[in-house]
Amino acid sequence: MLDMFLYYIYLKFQVNKMNPQDIENIELAYLTLDDYQELKEAMQEAYKSMPNLYWRENQIKTLIDKFPEGQVVIKINNQIAGCALSIIVDYDRIEAEHTYEDITGNYTFNTHTKSGDVLYGIDVFIKPKFRGLRLGRRLYDYRKELCEKLNLRGIVFGGRIPNFHNYQNEMTPKEYMDKVKRKEIHDSVLNFQISNDFHPLRVLKGYLEGDKDSGEYAVLLEWDNIYYQKPSKKAATKKKVVRLGLIQWQMRLYKDLEELMQQAEYFVDAVSGYRSDFALFPEFFNAPLMADNNHLPESEAIRELAKHTEEIVQKFSELAISYNINIITGSFPEMKDDLLYNVGYLCRRDGTLERYEKLHVTPDEAKVWGMQGGNKLQAFDTDCGKIGILICYDSEFPELSRLLADDGMDILFVPFLTDTQNGYSRVRNCAQARAIENECYVAIAGSVGNLPKVHNMDIQYAQSMVFTPCDFAFPANGIKAEATTNTEMILIADVDIDLLRELNQFGSVRNLRDRRKDIFSLTKN
C-alpha cells in the first residue's frame, strides 16, 4: 500500500467507467470506522493484482484516532470512490534514508506527531470505475489545503517507479528519474506527481520490500507550501485567492450542437489548465444555432433555440465535474410554463446545479422575442465563497447587486451580449460602479464577431474585464485584468477575497458600512 500505487494498477486493469452524467453528487468527507467495510472492498478493487493488500480495521482506527483530518474519502452518489491517508512527521525523518516500514513505524503509525512539520502521504487510491474523473487531483488539492491550514512546510511521500524494471539494466534509478523529468521516458506515477507540482528530492533504496517492478526503489517526492511560516504566537489568517477564467467568445456558425459544445469544452479545458476556479461564458453564446431556423420569424427561431438548453446544461455539468471547475454558463433561452425566459446555470464542480434568471429584459428582447423577466434573485454558495450572477441589462440596476452584497456576495459575474459600443459602455461602466459600491469583484464576459445569417444577432462588441474596488490594496483604476477588444480569447485573473474583508473594515472609504440605513432601506420581496 503505497501512495500513487493506483496509477500503476490503472494501466493494467481497464474497467467500465462511471459516466459523468450519472453523477448526482461528489462529496469529500472524513473517513470513519463506519466506512471500513466499504473502504476494504474499494481497496481490493483498486489493488486487484494483490487482493490481500488492504489496511486492517485496527490500522484504520489508529490513523483516525491519531489524525482524523488526514484521512479523507471521496464519495460519489454516497459511494466511496477514493481515499487518501496521511500522517504528520518531523522533517528530519524524511531527510534521512528511510523505508516505507520505517516511516509508518512498522505500520503502527507511532511515527505520527502533532508537533511535526511535514505531511507524509501514506496511501491514495481510486476505485477503477471512478478513474478518469480527476478525483486524484481533488485528493491532492485537499492535502495541499490541509497543509496550508496546519502551517506545515510541505507534503512528502515515496513514489514507486513501476516502469523502471524495463530500464534497470541500462541506467541507474537516478538516470531514470532524470530522463522522466526531461520527458525522454514516460512514467505514469512520476509524470502525474510532477504535473501536480511535486518535485523529486532523491532516490530511496529498498523502500518497499517485494516491489520488483520498481527494483525496490522509490522516488522521494515533495510539494513545498509557499505560505509556510515558522510557528509563532502571533495570530494569522489564511488568504483565499480565487482564480477566474473569462471566455470572450467568437460568434461563428456551427453545423450542430455537438460542434458548438466541442468549442465550449476547448475553453473549459483551457481555463481549467490554468487551475481556474470559475469559467464564465457570455450571454446567448449559443445564438449561432439559430442559423438553422433563420427562415422562421425571430420569435419562433428563439423558441427553437430553447429546445437545446436542457442538453447544453447537462453537458456543462459533466464538464464541471470532469475538469474540476465551477462553470457559469452565460445564458440561453428557456421555456417554462409556455413563457420564454433568459436564464443560465451555475454548474458546480461537485455536481450540483443552480438556476439564475435575467430579471430585466431589454425592450428589444420583449418586442422581438416576447421574452419575460424572471423573478428569482439570490447569492450562491460555492467552494470559493459566495457569488452573484446578473445577466447583462440587470447589471445596470444597482438595487440587485446591493441585495446580493447584503447576502454576502464576494464576486459578481456578469455574462453579457452587446451589439454596439454604446451598449457595451453601459454594461462596463455600471459593472465597475457595482464593484466600488458593493466592495466586491465584478467579472464581465461577452461575445465578439458577426452572425450575418442570424436575424437580430448580426454584430457583437465586447471587452471582457475583471473590476475591483478602488482603494490602496487594489489597482488605482479599479481594473484587475482586461481582454483585447473584439478578439476571441480567455482572460485569467486572481482575486484575493481577504482583501475585501480588510477593505470593509479598514478601507479609506467604506461604502457598505457607511450606508444611512436610518433614512433609507432596501429589501427583497
Q: Where are the alpha helices (H) located in 126-172, listed in sequence order? A: 135-149
Residues annotated as catalytic are: 283, 358, 392
- Residue among 525, 494, 509, 515 nearest 241 (CA): 494
What is the b/e burial string over 238-270, where b = at least 16 CB atoms within 10 angstroms of the residue's CB?
A: eeeebbbbbbbbbbeebeeeeebbebbbebbeb
Q: Which three cell numbers stand for residue 444?
A: 464581465
Residue 149 CA to residue 164 CA, distance in Å, equals 36
Residue 394 CA to residue 373 CA, distance in Å, equals 10
- Write the CB contacts of 504 (distance below 8 Å, at least 6 apart in sequence): 439, 510, 512, 513
- Residue among 99, 80, 70, 314 nearest 217 (CA): 99
Contact yes or no for 296/306 (Cβ under 8 A): no
Pairing of strands 385-389, 447-450: unpaired
Longest pairwise C-alpha distance within the chain: 84
Contact yes or no for 321/329 (Cβ under 8 A): no
Rounded to 5 degrees, φ, ψ at 459 are -130, 155
Pairing of strands 118-126, 154-160: parallel
Coil, helix or strand at residue 232: coil
For the sheet with 199-205, list strands across it. Answer: 26-30, 72-76, 79-89, 118-126, 154-160, 217-224, 199-205
Residue 371 CA to residue 306 CA, distance in Å, equals 12
Q: Which three cell numbers stand for residue 342?
A: 433568459
Contact yes or no for 221/247 (Cβ under 8 A): no
Contact yes or no for 343/356 (Cβ under 8 A): yes
